[in-house]
């Protein structure tokens, strides 16, 4: 197996072994996992943590859907319901999707650019180990007397300032997550700029590396803004300032501008790496180079730029001047152009390929279809006058769940199935992977599609109870929700089987059509890879020659 | 032969995709539930409904084209059918086309989008003004020119039924959660301006039949307007999370013909100004 690794891949000191014990992994549990500076182990930590958070956030979603199963209040009090919606979003955004992407970055970026590790390994350890503390603190607020935050993940004042003393814990938890993200981003940028193997020019980088590079810049620009916003909330709450208090000369709307200046780039932080993963998987299983590589890079960059000038499309009902509303409408509509380019390029990548439909491919195709639906509803929301009806209804809930669940989350799963054999050295069960896909794909639509109808028919978001006219579709949605949640247990089963029980060994190449440096190292990827840099040439990159 | 094959498959896929869209966008209406935006009872609502339908159709057509291309490829270009992968990786012509055409479509959408917005932002020339103030968790209505003011909160029957474990079936309560003690009474056929603000936290005043919602922000006075076409009762809800009972501060508007409205006003002015609904 190690012969396939060929030159370039240094398998440690004794070239002959890809097996665990000669790998120079640290021995004890603490040394291996707590004090680790190894990008692969830290990547694993991030991914396991993110999966745990998915299930915690998911459990909260189950509470929400159970209460909304039928009209009337059956299970929880309204204030607890609001804590659930708020915590669900905070956990999913900051605890699940973002750390999961950092986990992928840790595992794959060094392997994809031919680097021995991340540029700043100790900081890497630190940025992970902040997270368990941040989320323990955040979750602990649910058990405090004043209860958890209940003002929505957007934390709008004055409402958020009515949170009790637990609010301080929320703010500090957000600060810690922000620090973790910024450190992660710095690390990724430093790795990509300084650690690429000879010949790995920028325009030879796989798209996952490109999209993460751009995402890292978004993180560095956006997270400090969030930190500033919540710090002002903190001082307004505890130290008598009036940043957002109208009675004290402050401005509650100002908070929304600051929040969404962070918030809109944030949604792209969650989706750009997804674009990258899909742009890796579609060529592999189409056995055809990615269509329009350069256009993909430029489209990603322009989406990133535009994401900083569209924030107020979340605030169309707040009472802006006409000129402002028009500007933000036009700017938001513009985002549809590079987003469209991406979708068209993905379809063209598949066109005239020689496709097979292993689980990663199924999730990637599911992504393209369902993300497109979410993008189209985004385009509708961009039209200000129509948004005066859509805003703050279930139509918006449907929009962002389409882009986030079958968008970001499906690609996380696609990526997990795609690289699991490389991580573990074993093949996962293709049959159960496919069952997982079909259950997820069907139930995610039962869960979220009816929410479009509910929103258009007039159901506001963030309410614990509703008029019986909304009963039927809420029931569909809840049934879809429970089934979707249950389907994710299959995923855990597949992972456990793959890591510990699967008898089918993976080759280094794993997938027939896979190209790129990560497929030149053995499976499982040894603890240390590329300690001698590989030599990169055009045949190794996943797209045709870089000129295009 | 090969070409023909592609054509027939894409036609079949097109039919399937259209059927899927019909299933998602039209069929659920047959359950007897409302699945689309209301046309409403004002010119603004009508405009917003039409705008919504235009952009919805544009999105549907784009969706049908993209998915047809994609699923045609999925049917035809599989390894299991022995399809060999082509190796092309770009086409300047196609890339220019699918950048420029979407821009043109967007311009086409922006034009009605802009004019609708201009109409919305023209509250001038109003014949009467109502000031709306959001409180946790009720509304206050103040008829600025007529010296009438009252609070409007969730109707007692709904309020009793919505308590955790009340044991009351919501379906047995008339207009569950969409009923108030004192509705806002308005005339048909007059241009009415609303001044919208809040006293504690942010709320949003929304009656779907009027075509818009607007945030009620402490320290700000936002404007909105309506000219109601038809008498009737129109229901809405607070649309901005405002705390524990955000789901329980509905809005009810009773739209009366002008003469009945004027009669209502004089009745209010002769009686006490605090809290009396229509039809009493
Ligand atoms: C074609 C691209 C997109 C457009 C034009 C678009 C447009 C919009 C608009 C106008 C809103 C505000 C709706 C309202 O509150 O009334 C919105 C909400 C939202 N969008 Fe998108 N969007 C797009 C793509 C995305 C993507 C890719 C994501 C994330 C992966 C995303 C996540 C969200 C979220 C989370 C919200 C709701 C935030 C909240 O209020 O809590 N959107 N989108
Ligand atoms: Cu946005
Ligand atoms: Cu409210």
Nearest atom, ligand 1, residue A375 CA: 1
Res B2: pLDDT: 63
Which chain A residue has the Cα nearest residue B106?
Answer: A333
Res B248: pLDDT: 96
User: Is A408 close to ligand 1, i.e. is its CB under 6 Å away?
Assistant: yes
Q: Would you state the structure tokens that stand for residue A427, as one six-digit string?
A: 């093949």
For chain A, percent of residues with pLDDT exceeding 90: 89
Choices 3.40.50.300, 2.60.40.420, 2.60.40.10, 3.30.70.100: CATH for B128-270? 2.60.40.420
What mean pLDDT do residues A374-383 have? 96
β-pairing, B138-143 vs B184-187, is unpaired
Taking only Cα atoms into account, the Rg of chain B, rounded to an integer number of angstroms, comes to 26
pTM above 0.80, yes or no: yes
Q: Does the structure show a pLDDT above 60 at A310?
A: yes
Region of poorest pLDDT, from A15-24, A110-119, A461-470, B238-247:
A15-24
What mean pLDDT do residues A273-286 have? 96
* A386 CB burial (10 A radius; 0-12, 13-18, 19+): buried
Res B83: pLDDT: 87
Half-sphere exposure of B233 (CA within 13 A, CB side): 12
Q: Does the structure show a pLDDT above 80 at A21?
A: no
Q: What is the DSSP string of A479-497?
A: HHHHHHHHHHHHHHHHHHI
β-pairing, B191-198 vs B222-227, is antiparallel
State how far residue A316 is from chain B, nearest Cα, in angstroms.
Answer: 9
Nearest atom, ligand 1, residue A404 CA: 30
User: Is A400 close to ligand 1, i.e. is its CB under 6 Å away?
Assistant: yes
Instruction: Assign A23 a pLDDT band (cuts: 50, 70, 90).
Output: low
Q: Does the structure show a pLDDT above 90 at A90?
A: yes
What confidence tens digit (pLDDT) does each residue in A177-192 have?
999 999 999 999 999 9
Contact B28 A450 (CB under 8 A): yes
CA torsion A485→A486→A491→A494, rounded to 10°? 170
Q: Would you state the structure tokens that stand for residue A149, as one six-digit string?
A: 């935050």
Res A27: pLDDT: 82
Res B132: pLDDT: 97
* B104 CB burial (10 A radius; 0-12, 13-18, 19+): exposed
Of B24, B37, B165, the CB nearest to A456: B37
Sign of torsion over alpha carbons A320, A326, A331, A335: positive
Which residues in chain B show pLDDT less than 70? Answer: 1-4, 272-280
Res A184: pLDDT: 96
Res B125: pLDDT: 87
Residues 6+ apart with CB under 8 A from B247: A78, A460, A462, A463, A464, A465, A466, B177, B237
Q: Which of residues 183-202 of A touch B (CB under 8 A)?
A: none
Q: Check if the beta carbon of residue A350 is closer than 8 Å to that of residue B83.
A: no
For chain A, percent of residues with pLDDT exceeding 70: 95
Q: Does the structure show a pLDDT above 70 at A15?
A: no
Instruction: Assign A543 a pLDDT band (cuts: 50, 70, 90).
Output: low
Domain ranges of chain B: 2-75+95-120, 128-270
Averaged pLDDT of chain A: 92
CA A410 vs. chain centroid, Å, equals 10
Contact B78 A355 (CB under 8 A): yes
Res A67: pLDDT: 96
């Amino acid at each position: 197996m190690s012969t396939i690794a060929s030159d370039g891949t240094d398998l440690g000191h004794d070239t002959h072994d890809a097996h665990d014990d000669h790998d120079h992994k640290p021995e004890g549990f603490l040394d291996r996992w707590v004090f680790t500076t190894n990008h692969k182990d830290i990547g694993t930590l991030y991914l396991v943590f993110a999966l745990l958070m998915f299930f915690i956030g998911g459990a909260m979603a189950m509470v929400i859907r159970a209460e909304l199963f039928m009209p009337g209040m059956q299970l929880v009090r309204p204030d607890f319901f609001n804590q659930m919606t708020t915590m669900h979003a905070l956990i999913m955004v900051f605890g699940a999707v973002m750390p999961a992407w950092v986990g992928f970055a840790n595992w794959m970026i060094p392997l994809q650019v031919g680097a021995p590790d991340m540029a700043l390994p100790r900081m890497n350890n630190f940025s992970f180990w902040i997270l368990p503390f941040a989320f323990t603190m955040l979750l602990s607020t649910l058990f405090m007397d004043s209860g958890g935050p209940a003002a929505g993940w957007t934390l709008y004042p004055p409402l958020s300032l009515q949170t009790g003393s637990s609010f301080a814990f929320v703010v500090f938890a957000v600060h810690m997550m922000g620090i973790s993200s910024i450190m992660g981003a710095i690390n990724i940028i430093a790795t990509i700029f300084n650690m690429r193997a000879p010949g790995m020019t920028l325009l030879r980088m796989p798209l996952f590396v490109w999209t993460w590079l751009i995402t890292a810049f978004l993180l560095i620009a956006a997270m400090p803004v969030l930190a500033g916003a919540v710090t002002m909330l903190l001082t307004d709450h505890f130290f008598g300032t009036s940043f957002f208090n109208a009675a004290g000369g402050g401005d509650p709307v100002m908070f929304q501008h600051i929040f969404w200046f962070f918030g809109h780039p944030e949604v792209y932080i969650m989706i750009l790496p997804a674009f990258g993963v899909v742009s890796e998987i579609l060529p592999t299983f189409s056995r055809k180079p990615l269509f329009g590589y350069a256009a993909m890079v430029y489209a990603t960059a322009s989406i990133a730029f535009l994401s900083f000038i569209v924030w107020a499309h979340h605030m169309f009902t707040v009472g802006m001047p006409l000129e402002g509303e028009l500007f933000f409408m036009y700017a938001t509509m513009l985002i549809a152009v590079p987003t469209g380019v991406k979708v068209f390029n993905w379809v063209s990548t598949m066109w005239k390929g020689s496709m097979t439909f292993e689980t990663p491919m199924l999730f990637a195709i599911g992504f393209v279809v369902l993300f497109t639906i979410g993008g189209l509803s985004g385009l509708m929301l961009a039209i200000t006058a129509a948004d005066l009806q859509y805003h703050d209804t279930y139509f918006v809930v449907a929009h962002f769940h389409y882009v986030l669940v079958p968008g970001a989350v499906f690609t996380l799963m696609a990526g997990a199935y795609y690289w699991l054999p490389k991580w573990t050295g074993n093949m996962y069960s293709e049959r159960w992977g496919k069952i997982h896909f079909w259950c997820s794909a069907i139930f995610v639509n039962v869960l979220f599609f009816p929410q479009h109808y509910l929103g258009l028919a007039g159901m506001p978001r963030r309410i614990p109870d509703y008029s019986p006219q909304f009963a039927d579709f809420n029931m569909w949605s809840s049934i879809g929700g429970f089934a979707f949640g249950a389907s994710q247990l299959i995923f855990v089963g597949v992972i456990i089987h793959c890591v510990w029980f699967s008898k089918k060994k993976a080759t280094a190449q794993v997938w027939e059509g896979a190209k790129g440096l990560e497929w030149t190292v053995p499976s499982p990827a040894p603890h240390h890879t590329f300690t001698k840099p590989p030599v990169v040439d055009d045949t190794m990159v996943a797209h045709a020659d870089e000129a295009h | 032969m090969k070409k023909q094959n592609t054509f027939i498959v894409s036609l079949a896929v097109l039919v399937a995709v259209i059927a899927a869209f019909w299933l998602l966008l039209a069929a659920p209406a047959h359950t007897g539930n409302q699945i689309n935006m209301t046309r409403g009872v004002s010119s603004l609502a009508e405009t917003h409904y039409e705008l919504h339908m235009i952009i919805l159709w544009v999105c549907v057509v784009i969706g049908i084209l993209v998915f047809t291309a994609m699923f045609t490829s999925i049917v035809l270009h599989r390894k299991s059918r022995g399809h060999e992968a082509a190796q092309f990786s770009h086409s300047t012509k196609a890339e220019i086309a699918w950048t420029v055409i979407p821009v043109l479509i967007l311009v086409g959408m922006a034009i009605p989008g802009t004019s609708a917005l201009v109409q919305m932002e023209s509250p001038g020339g109003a014949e009467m003004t109502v000031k709306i103030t959001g409180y946790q968790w009720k509304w206050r209505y103040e008829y600025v020119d007529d010296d009438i003011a009252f609070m409007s909160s969730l109707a007692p029957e709904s309020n009793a039924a919505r308590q955790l474990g009340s044991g009351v079936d919501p379906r047995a309560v008339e207009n569950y959660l969409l009923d108030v003690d004192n509705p806002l009474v308005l005339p048909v056929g007059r241009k009415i301006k609303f001044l919208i603000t809040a006293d504690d936290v942010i709320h949003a005043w929304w009656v779907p039949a009027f075509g818009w919602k607007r945030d009620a922000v402490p320290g700000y006075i936002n404007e909105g307007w309506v000219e109601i076409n038809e008498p009737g009762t129109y229901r809405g809800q607070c649309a901005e999370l405002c705390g524990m009972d955000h789901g329980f501060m509905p809005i009810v508007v009773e739209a009366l013909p002008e003469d009945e409205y004027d009669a209502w006003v004089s009745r209010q002015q002769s009686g006490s100004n605090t809290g009396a609904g229509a039809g009493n």
